Amino acid sequence: MEVSKRLKSIPPYVFAEIGKKRQAAIARGVDVIDLGIGDPDQPTPRHIVEAMHQALDQPVNYKYPPFGGTREYRLEAAKWCHNRFGIDIDLDNEITSLIGSKEGIHNIIAAYVDPGDVALIPDPGYPVYGTSTILAGGTPHHMPLGASNDFLPVFEDIPQAVALKAKIMFLNYPNNPTAAVCDLSFLERAVAYAAKHDILLVHDLAYSEMTFDGYKAHSVFEVPKARDVAIELHSLSKTYNMTGWRIGFAIGNSQPVKALAQLKSNIDTDVFKAIQMAAIAAFNGPRTHIDECNALYTERRDVAVEALDKLGWHVKPNKATFYMWLPVPAGMSSSQFSNLMLDTAGIVVPPGTAYGPSGEGWFRVSLCTGKERLKEAFARMEKHAITFDRAAAKV
Ligand SMILES: *Cc1c(COP(=O)(O)O)cnc(C)c1O
């Protein structure tokens, strides 16, 4: 039996590949330090788990959940957005539940992209934007994110012919993998660009609460005109240490929200009601655990910044996400560096190319590992003389 041409048209999921290499090293007896995948190492807060326990004891929750999320879930998610961003959401038209934002990314593409259409995607970027576009028969157009422009795309660089064919544009700030943040004026320019070219703007806001040093992330809907052109994907995964629970929501213009909900109603049957009730407990719970996690990530970041400085990587401390985006040493490709790190130091780091062609010359470090393990990783780099010479690398 042959698998579809569609499936053959996409590469294997990058983290599945990295996972295989990691497993092989562990099987060889290597004490692997995984600075690869971005998955919070802290547990889901107790009050959320307790809400799930209670919901599990109510048989009414065992039935099919309503499409688009329960009214209560939408209400509490909307209230959370109101408190956090000062925005108002119409519960019947402007919000729908998601089985995590990865699902939302795939399905919003399926709802809007036809063969021949272009999707504008950040490069480097979360891999799903590109692969789901290819699965839909569309063509990804990479918007390079470079250090010289603070890892923001330059809309003026998008060729006019590409803009004409573009149906959808993805933005993601705070950003994975570069850890970059944006200000409101950038989002204003993005909204204006999308409006001018009749493009659906999708803002992936998975890291909205994972910010440090006083920076606060923006919802695109803080830009009033965004209502005309945008949809925003929210996720509880990174905010509440709930990656395995699979829950999020989309807010925004009623047309894309309804299109997404319509498509989803034909494919999935929403999120287990008990999980929606746990999510409500998350929305209504104290913010202390978010602050605690951010303090933990800040502490790890500072450990990393200091250790990297000694190794020659002089980096500005990132204001958001648990990632660091670093240049590879001169004379090496990203994948060569990634292999070197695993083979000589037993450290997993994804090569920048896993996130797009502009990731060449870069690698990502995740800070989802305890401080002592992080220190151990940098000590191993020092021991094996894995260092960075800025002058040689010319970045
Ligand atoms: C982690 C991540 C997601 C996926 O989150 P889920 O809600 O768990 O599916 C989406 N976008 C980006 C940029 C991410 O890093």
Average pLDDT over residues 39-62: 98
Residue 172 CA: which ligand 1 atom is closest?
13
pLDDT digits 0-9 by tens, 1-33: 999 999 999 987 777 778 888 999 999 999 999
Percent of the chain with pLDDT over 90: 95
Residue 238 CA: which ligand 1 atom is closest?
1
For residue 16, the model assigns a pLDDT of 77
Binned at pLDDT 50, 70 and 90, residue 79 comes out as very high
Phi and psi torsions of 255, nearest 5°: -65, -55
Residues with CB under 6 A from ligand 1: 38, 100-102, 126, 172, 176, 204, 206, 235, 237-238, 243, 248
Ligand 1 centroid distance, CA of 131 (Å): 14
For residue 3, the model assigns a pLDDT of 95
> Is the CB of residue 270 less than 8 Å from the CB of residue 69?
yes
Average pLDDT over residues 157-162: 98
Ligand 1 centroid distance, CA of 2 (Å): 31
For residue 395, the model assigns a pLDDT of 57
SS3 assignment for 29-58 = CCCCEECCCCCCCCCCCHHHHHHHHHHHCC
pLDDT digits 0-9 by tens, 234-270: 999 999 999 999 999 999 999 999 999 999 999 999 9
Residue 204 CA: which ligand 1 atom is closest?
11
Phi and psi torsions of 122, nearest 5°: -65, 140
Q: Which residue's CA lies nearest to atom 14 of ligand 1? A: 206
What domains are there in the chain, each with its CATH number? Answer: 5-43+288-393 (3.90.1150.10), 46-284 (3.40.640.10)
Binned at pLDDT 50, 70 and 90, residue 96 comes out as very high
Pairing of strands 362-366, 248-252: unpaired
For residue 394, the model assigns a pLDDT of 60
For residue 141, the model assigns a pLDDT of 98
For the whole model, what pTM was predicted? 0.96
Binned at pLDDT 50, 70 and 90, residue 292 comes out as very high
Q: Which residue's CA lies nearest to atom 5 of ligand 1? A: 101
The rounded mean pLDDT for the chain is: 96
C-alpha span between 249 and 385 (Å, rounded): 45
C-alpha span between 217 and 228 (Å, rounded): 21
Ligand 1 centroid distance, CA of 206 (Å): 6
